Structure 1
Amino acid sequence: MLLAVPSLASAATPLSFENEFVRVVVNPGPKEAGRFSISTTGGDPSRPESARKPLIFGGTTPWTSYTTLTIDGTSYVFGGPTSRRAGKAARYGDLIGTPQVTSTSITHTGRLGDVEVVQELALVRGPSTRMLDTVRITYRLKNVGTTTRRVGLRVMLDTMLGSNDGAPVRAGTEAITAACALTGKAVPDYWQAFDSVANPTVISQGSLRGEGLTPPDKLLFADWGSFADEPWEPTLAPGQGFIRKGETDPDTATALLWNPEPLAPGATRVLSTAYGIGGVTLRPGQLALGLTAPAEAQFLHERTQPFTVAGYLENAGGFDARDVTLTLTVPEGLELIAGQPELHFAALPKGQTVQGSWTLRPNGAASGTLPLVLAGRSANVEANQITREIQVDVPSPRLKTLPERRQVPSETNGLPTVVLAPVVLAPATGFAAARLELTYDPAVIRAFDVSRGRAFVEKNVLLPGWQFDLSQPGRVVITATRGEAAPLTQAEVNLAIIQFRAVAPGTSTLRLTEAVLTNGRGERIPVETTETSITVLH
């Protein structure tokens, strides 16, 4: 991991960090301070031609991409002012302090009216590659004034793939061929840009949903000139192309908008997106294929998150293809919840690309490495097929008490401190009954009561068969069943809450020495247990 920090003798030296995949450069200012570019270093290891290519225009002195805040209807640009086209006529605030640079992130802080803004660019793992080839772009907006403000955010990215400043963009089921705005449910999980399925130079991916990300309210694609001249939301004409406004060259850019919302004094709003290298499995041929999906997924019962799969088919042959089909085969362990498994196209002209989008979800029927298969067929062109693997995790049941080790005072308000220790099963699959034994040090804490968890309550009615025994110091025994109620299958369920009272300073381990769980057929459910502790302070 490499980084560059400006010295006192050379304030113009760019701020940067990089690894074997990507490089991030931030303009040190004073003009255009805080604006950034992203490029590849080694790029995608499977495509050597993707090395040393820009993903966001700007090189070592980025200025064309910029971020806007709207505060009570007035637009401000984050960072230093500019005399160039991108945000030239906009209002600006002030940068506070010096940038914070590490080997994996750069942070700037600015003040725009009553709003303090922290911009953080940090390396994260790409959702489709699981490599550190993606940059998370985060803004923390805090109202440091005394009046509630309506605050929104726009992040504009001047996308560029290699030497292609007008690279085609693909989102959901569509190739974006004209300026447009996607809102609400039309905002996809991610968007990708590449010039060819048969022989791409570099593939980029903007991720909009996922862990730690905040989906924008609106996703705009337009020519860079329209975004450069309008710091908030430009007017897009029907059929408007990607020729740079007022010029003759193609120049694609993207803007993410989060609508203005009330921000109370002292409140903070955190908004994040991610951009980097896209993971697309490719197979050349007369019908060239590309298939992308998250590298990992997890089954969590009712908390299971669906994900989007996108498939691309390009006619790379020398003539038009007739009666074309694009088919996705989904393995056991995944289920198709949106999209048709087979798409039909009457004709596909040579050099043209079609795509499909499907929504899948793990169903718990299988785990491990699961293959997605995409096939392209035509009445007059040789068929092709591609496989992309996805790692699906179905967690084993785990029984735990406290989520972390606890430290408590010996007294609270003049009385011995009471500590609540929930006993939680995650996940629960067909759970029907339990016998638990937990041990602890009675010289440090003492159990005085046990409350039943939601596992033994059905429609607000207490289920029969709940018992506990505290007769032996240092030992809690719980025996409980759901009786005639249906077995539980859900991501997490509380079995019990044990109430302890502090006795004397020291540390007591909480250890589940017996954990017998059974399903509705009386079969034992294998379960892992974890230890934790309670420390009573002097």
Structure 2
Amino acid sequence: MKIKTILVFLLSVIFYKAYGSWIEVSNHFISIKVDSDTARFSLSTTGGEPDISFDDNKCLLYDKLPPTSFTTVLINDENFIFGGEDGSFIKRPYRDGEKIITEWRIRNINIVQEVSIITATASGRDDMMKVTYRILNKGKKDVNIGLRVLLDTLLGENDPKAYGLPDKNIIDRETTLSDDAIPSFWYCFDDYTNPIVRSQGILRGLEVTKPTRIVFASWDRFYENKWDFPVNSTRDFRRRGTSKFDGAVALYYDPVKVEANQSVTISLMYGMYSAESSIGENLQISINIPEKVEKPPIPVDVRLANSFPYPLENLRLEILPPEGFGLIKGETNVKTFSQSISSRMMSFKWHLISGSVGGNFKVRVRATGIINGEQKMVEAETNFNINYVETPATQVTGEKPAIVEKGKEEIPYEKVGVKPETKKEISTREKKLMIEINKLDSLINEVTRKYQVLMGIYKGLFSKDSGLLDNLDSDIQNYENKMKEAEESLSDDTMYMRD
């Protein structure tokens, strides 16, 4: 059975290489392509993230013909593949502005698939794909209709070995999430150690239809089972009988009753990963902050989206910085707005500052407000990394500066109305010794300064282990004592070195 399945698929690949064709919509960030023969879709980057060149022209879904992402339509417990030979096209895929639309019929059910590029609320960029199905029952009897949308993820050249969830959990075995366990989004990286190509699927809120369940498994499991199969929580994402990883994600919308001449609409979103977000009931807040920053101030961009048909009133936004961080002058932790806000999309900004600091930190933003007389609250959090050593203000040491008057030569400081002091004559050997002492003083000051800086970073990272800190303090103190003893010894020597 396995060999027969693979042969059928390989023959279809050869056929489509000769006859298949793409219909495409694209912009500076992503490209969506739909196969003109099957209406299956694919997604890839064009320019990708603006600040990253390595993610240009990379796959987010497999883009070979025929596409390996497909949708199953379940009608009264019978499975059909959208765009397949069991049904017929009312209209084959065609471009309508920035959308690609397909109209297909199976029995008395008309289904319209609409694929388009939309703006991601987290990034504010047009880097998200939206797929919408409008299902109309043209018959005279009620029918039970469900959908399963399979996304065959490919990140650049890498098949996923794992997927991520907002709570930082990593899924690397067959997994089903349903009901309240369904998060607001899932994500996938080409490499979880050093990610370059990153994608994200939205599961709840805004214009998305929350799936009944979401299943993570290898692609061949979905290909061999057009609707359901027993999930094996001990199995990873390798194809059966091989060492090749081939992870895929399926969104299930379990059957609902659709009465005669009635319709149901299902929408999902998948695209580029941009920021951590949290979604409440039609209210979404997202935080966009560089994952790794070199030095403060650290920009924190916040976007709030309201898809309620009512304005947002008494909005209160609060940022909760990590310990040891503050805000730049003029900014406060809380922003309040007494006026009614009718905008669907709102943007806000803070700037975090700190002294010397190192490690991974978490920042959280919370929004509360009243919509149609009801109190609403949503919050999000994200992490960032920083290793920063604060540079102290420059200290003027050594020779006194020269004063320069306009149009005149530089005049040494001692000659500008100041009577020079009578200087003692010192020997050459004493001069050399004093130079050594000055070097030692500078070294002690530098060691002390670096110690204070590094201690600040160290305490930020390991403040839970007071024993380690005590030992470090003791070692540094002993080192400083030895340096001072050496200085005193050198100073005593000068008494016996005068000519």
Q: Normalised by the size of structure 2, how large is the TM-score?
A: 0.57
Q: 1:105 to 1:137 in 2, by over 3 A?
A: same
Which amino acid in 2 is paired with 1:65? S
Structure 1 position 126, deviation (Å): 1.2
**CA displacement at 1:201 relative to structure 2:** 1.5
Write 1 or 2 for the structure with the bigger share of strand. 1
Q: Which residue of 1 aligns with 2:59?
A: 54
| Deviation at residue 138 of structure 1 after TM alignment | 0.6
| Alignment partner, residue 185 of structure 2 | 190
- Aligned 8 A contact 2:72 2:81 in 1: yes
Q: What corresponds to 1:141 in structure 2?
A: 135
Offset of 1:75 from its aligned partner? 0.7
**What amino acid is aligned across from residue 213 of structure 1 in structure 2?**
V
Question: Any idea what the Cα deviations from partners look like across 1:41-71, whole Å, max 9, x if unmatched?
Answer: 1011122111110001124x24211100111
Alignment counterpart, residue 317 of structure 2, candidates 333, 343, 347: 333
Q: Distance in 2 between matches of 1:225 and 1:374?
A: 50
Match of residue 150, structure 1, among 140, 144, 152: 144
The match for 1:65 is: 69
1:159 aligns with 2:153: yes
Deviations 1:186-212 (A, max 9, x none): 111111111446631111010122322
The equivalent residue for 2:228 is: 233
Distance in 1 (CA, whole Å) between partners of 2:307 and 2:374 is 12
CA apart distance, 1:388: 9.0
C-alpha contact (below 8 Å) 2:70/2:150 kept by paired residues? yes
Is 1:244 equivalent to 2:239 in the alignment? Answer: yes
- Paired position in structure 1 for 2:291: 283
Partner of 2:359: 383
The corresponding residue for 1:271 is 266
1:99–1:299 distance in 2 versus 1, CA, 3 Å? closer
Q: Matches of 2:353 and 2:202 in 1, distance apart?
A: 22
Per the alignment, residue 82 of structure 2 pairs with 78
TM-aligned CA deviation for residue 235 of structure 1 = 1.5
CA deviation profile, 1:224-274 (whole Å, cap 9, x unmatched): 010111111222112111011343210110000011011111001000001
Corresponding position of 2:48: 43
- 158 and 74 in structure 1: CA distance in 2 versus 1, 3 angstrom threshold: same
Distance 1:97 1:167, change over 3 A: same
Cα RMSD, aligned residues only: 4.1
- Flag the structure with larger Rg: 2
| TM-aligned CA distance change 1:127 to 1:427, over 3 Å | closer
Note closer, same or farther for the CA distance 1:107–1:490 as it changes in structure 2 (3 Å cut).
Answer: same
Question: Partners in 1 of 2:269 and 2:129 — Cα distance?
Answer: 5
What does residue 296 of structure 1 align with? 304
Mapped to 2, the partners of 1:219 and 1:21 lie a distance apart of 27
- Please tell me whether the aligned partners of residues 22 and 133 of structure 1 are also in contact (alpha carbons under 8 angstroms): yes
Partner amino acid, structure 2, of 1:206: G
Distance 1:157 1:54 in 2: 12
Compared CA separation, residues 238 and 387, structure 1 to 2 (3 A): closer
Structure 1 position 386, deviation (Å): 7.0
The one-letter amino acid of 1:264's match is: E
Check 1:369–1:64 CA distance in 2 against 1; reply closer, same or farther (3 A cut).
Answer: same
- The correspondence for 2:23, drawn from 15, 25, 45, is 15
Task: Name the structure with the higher helix share.
Answer: 2
Counterpart-to-counterpart distance in 2, 1:186 and 1:303: 30
Contact 1:71 1:149 (8 Å CA) reproduced: yes
1:35–1:49 distance in 2 versus 1, CA, 3 Å: same
Supply the distance in 1 between the matched residues of 2:351 and 2:215 (Cα, whole angstroms): 30
The 8 Å contact of residues 37 and 62 in structure 1, kept in 2 or not, is answered as no
Kindly tell me: are residues 368 and 37 of structure 1, through their superposed partners in 2, closer, same or farther at Cα, counting changes over 3 Å? closer
The 2-side partners of 1:66 and 1:55 are apart by: 15
Alignment CA distance shift 1:262-1:278 (3 Å): same
Q: Deviations 1:116-138 (Å, cap 9, x if unpaired)? A: 11111011111211211111011
Q: SS of the counterpart of 1:96?
A: strand
**Residue number among 167, 173, 177 corresponding to 2:172 in the alignment:** 177
1:261 aligns with 2:237: no
Letter aligned with residue 110 of structure 1: W
Distance 1:243 1:285 in 2: 36
Partner of 1:204: 199
Aligned partner (choices 117, 120, 130) of residue 114 of structure 2: 120
1:102 aligned to 96, 102, 112, which one?
96
Q: Is the 8 A contact 1:335 1:363 kept in 2?
A: no
Regions of 4+ moved over 6 Å: 291-294, 299-305, 372-375, 386-390, 488-491
| Corresponding residue of 1:25 | 33
The 3 A distance-change label for structure 1 pair 149 and 222 is: same
Cα distance between partner residues in 1 of 2:20 and 2:309 = 53
| Shift of residue 93, structure 1, vs aligned partner | 1.6
**Separation in 2 of the partners of 1:202 and 1:264?**
43
Relative to structure 1, is the Cα distance of residues 183 and 303 closer, same or farther in structure 2, using a 3 angstrom cutoff? farther
State the distance in 2 between where 1:151 and 1:374 align.
54
Equivalent residues, number: 324
TM-score if structure 1 supplies the norm length? 0.53
Check whether the contact 1:178–1:240 (CA below 8 A) recurs between aligned residues. yes
Whether the aligned pair in 2 keeps the contact of 1:285 and 1:384 (CA below 8 Å) is no
Amino acid of the residue matched to residue 151 of structure 2?
L
Partner of 2:213: 218
In structure 2, give the amino acid aligned to 1:100: Y
Paired AA for residue 25 in structure 2: F
Cα offsets for 1:154-200 (capped at 9, x unmatched): 00000110111125311232211211110001111111111446631
For residues 49-101 of structure 1, what are the alpha-carbon distances to aligned partners after superposition, in whole Å with 9 as ceiling and x for unaligned? 11110001124x242111001111111110135xxxxxxxxxx3222223231
Q: Which residue of 1 aligns with 2:348?
A: 369
1:143/1:265 contact within 8 Å kept? yes
Contact 2:105 2:111 in 1 (8 A): yes
Are 2:301 and 2:347, in contact at CA under 8 Å, matched by a contact in 1?
A: no
Q: What is the one-letter code of the residue matched to 2:230? A: T
Cα shift readout 1:284-310 (whole Å, capped 9, x = no counterpart)? 499xxxx999733459899979xxxxx
Q: Aligned in 2, Cα 1:209/1:122: closer, same or farther, shift over 3 Å? A: same
Amino acid at match of 2:61: I
1-side partners of 2:77 and 2:335: how far apart? 43
Q: CA separation of 1:299/1:138 partners in 2, compared to 1, >3 Å: closer, same or farther?
A: closer
Q: Please say if residues 134 and 277 of structure 1, whose CA atoms lie closer than 8 Å, have aligned partners that are also in contact.
A: yes
Question: What residue in structure 2 maps to residue 346 of structure 1?
Answer: none
**Paired amino acid for 2:303:** A
